[in-house]
Amino acid sequence: MQRRHKMELKIGDKIRELRRRDGVTQEQIAAALGVSGQAVSKWESRAGYPDMETIPALANYFGVSIDDLFGYDGIREKRIREICERADSLFHRRDENVEERLSMLRAAVDEFPASGELLARLGCALYDAGWKLGASAYTTSEDPYIRPDTEANRKNPYWKEAILVNERALTFPLSSPAYETTVTDLLILYWETGEQEKAAALVNRQQSVTVCRERLAAKNLTDSWKPLGDGLLAFLESMTDLIIHAATTVSAIPENAAHSYSVLTAYADFLETVIPDENTLGVTRNLFDLHFWRTVFAIRMETDMNGAFSLSAECLAKTLACADRQNRLADTGVHSYTAPYLKETTFDTTDLYRYEDGAVFRSMMSSVGNRRTPELDAALSVIPRYADWLSAQGENP
């Protein structure tokens, strides 16, 4: 009986709210539905509720869903929002929480199959799970650039599902962050699995950089400098991704490692010149990624030149400094930039990614591959944290 009372309360309040919204009387509703005005009055006063046969007509009269009429939509949206927030917090540790994210999001999509936001996050988790399982790539003597092994990647069970889920997510309205992540992941999945025509079609449906919202909003300085700062950061972040992608791709040819190193060094200097303060792109991981790959390319160069790895050690120290800077910022609230054109731009450090030395070193050595030698370990051990990591692994520098 208590459960029925709650339903009466919600539907009665909703009928009154919708009636006032539309400016109609109880008698007008009664006439449209073929009931008495007294019946409508009872619904609103919680003395009764509509017959089940009347409810669809009532929802249609107000132009709302039956769920909305009962007040379920608000509960549904609150539940979806809570799940999305939990998934987003796990995303910041995406390499460590893939299985937990997958389990939670699969259950959520089963419960809310028409939620684009949940589908987008499930697609992202499947995408990450596929990378963790391993993407296949190859090079040849005729074509030394890194190419995806599309035949092998098409068999990746996570990616097969991720493509279907992301395609489905794009059929629903999505927030800007969810849409951008979904499109980006889906494009990479298409490329990695050899679906070039689908990738081209998806690319061609997107706006050009000339008319993107960040660039257009940045032109208007009449009320605020914030659009300029936000737009500048968005473009720098995108440009950094492209620079790193280009550098890592061409470095498949050994002699290109030096060029990639020089490009990333110059670009890192450029970023720190454009934004000359302690918060230089700290929340976007851009500088960390740049210096991480500078270190990898320095190791490749010095290995090929039989060098002493002094440059590699210098680059690794810079990489760790960037990690430390971001770790200090994590969960310290909202911060501002000090560069003049970013004076109204802020960033929230809640759930900011935290770097762990072991993860950094493992990822770096994986990228170095067979160039890791005892001589390299000894040279990098001038950095105490690297020496400590080696010791913890049971290795001596």
Separation between Cα atoms, residue 287 and residue 269, nearest integer Å: 10
Separation between Cα atoms, residue 167 and residue 205, nearest integer Å: 14
Q: Which of 248, 252, 328 is nearest to 295 (CA)?
A: 248
Average pLDDT of the residues of the chain: 84
Percent of the chain at pLDDT > 70 equals 88
Report helix, strand or coil for 148: strand
Q: How far is CA 384 from the centre of its chain?
A: 33
Q: What is the pLDDT of residue 283?
A: 46
Q: What is the pLDDT of residue 281?
A: 52
Q: Higher pLDDT residue, 73 or 210?
A: 210
Separation between Cα atoms, residue 132 and residue 123, nearest integer Å: 14
Q: Higher pLDDT residue, 272 or 179?
A: 179
**Nearby residues of 350 by Cβ (< 8 Å), 6 or more positions away:** 331, 333
Q: What is the pLDDT of residue 142?
A: 57
Q: Mean pLDDT, to the nearest integer, of 64-87? A: 79
For 112, other C-beta atoms within 10 Å of its C-beta total 17
Separation between Cα atoms, residue 80 and residue 110, nearest integer Å: 12
- Does residue 390 carry a pLDDT above 60? yes
Q: What is the pLDDT of residue 8?
A: 40
Q: What is the pLDDT of residue 89?
A: 79
Q: What is the pLDDT of residue 46?
A: 82
| Least confident among 22-26, 106-110, 280-284 | 280-284
For the stretch 309-353, pLDDT in tens is 999 999 999 999 989 988 888 878 887 787 888 888 888 887 777
Domain ranges of the chain: 2-70, 81-199, 245-392
- Does residue 107 carry a pLDDT above 50? yes
Report helix, strand or coil for 334: strand
Separation between Cα atoms, residue 329 and residue 170, nearest integer Å: 34
Contacts by 37-42, CB closer than 8 A, 24 or more apart: 40/15
**Nearby residues of 290 by Cβ (< 8 Å), 6 or more positions away:** 240, 243, 244, 264, 267, 268, 271
CB 341 within 8 A of CB 225: yes
Separation between Cα atoms, residue 40 and residue 38, nearest integer Å: 5
Which residue is listed with tokens 């190419």?
Answer: 147
Q: What is the pLDDT of residue 285?
A: 62
Query: Which residues face 348 on adjacent strands?
Result: 334
For the stretch 171-187, pLDDT in tens is 998 888 899 999 999 99
Work out the angle at residue 283's Cα, subtended by the Cα atoms of residues 274 and 279, and round it to the nearest 5 degrees. Answer: 45
Percent of the chain at pLDDT > 90 equals 31
Whole-angstrom distance between the N-terminal and C-terminal Cα of the chain?
73
CB 254 within 8 A of CB 304: yes
For 10, other C-beta atoms within 10 Å of its C-beta total 18
CATH number of 81-199: 1.25.40
- Which fold does the domain 2-70 belong to in CATH? 434 Repressor (Amino-terminal Domain) (1.10.260)
Separation between Cα atoms, residue 29 and residue 34, nearest integer Å: 8
Q: Mean pLDDT, to the nearest integer, of 213-239? A: 81
Q: Mean pLDDT, to the nearest integer, of 353-378? A: 89
Q: Which of 39, 61, 62 is nearest to 51 (CA)?
A: 39
Separation between Cα atoms, residue 9 and residue 63, nearest integer Å: 20
For the stretch 41-52, pLDDT in tens is 888 888 888 888
Q: Mean pLDDT, to the nearest integer, of 255-278? A: 85
- Does residue 284 carry a pLDDT above 70? no
Q: Higher pLDDT residue, 234 or 67?
A: 234
Q: What is the pLDDT of residue 2?
A: 39
Q: What is the pLDDT of residue 252?
A: 66
Q: What is the pLDDT of residue 397?
A: 57
Q: What is the pLDDT of residue 94?
A: 60
**Nearby residues of 307 by Cβ (< 8 Å), 6 or more positions away:** 301
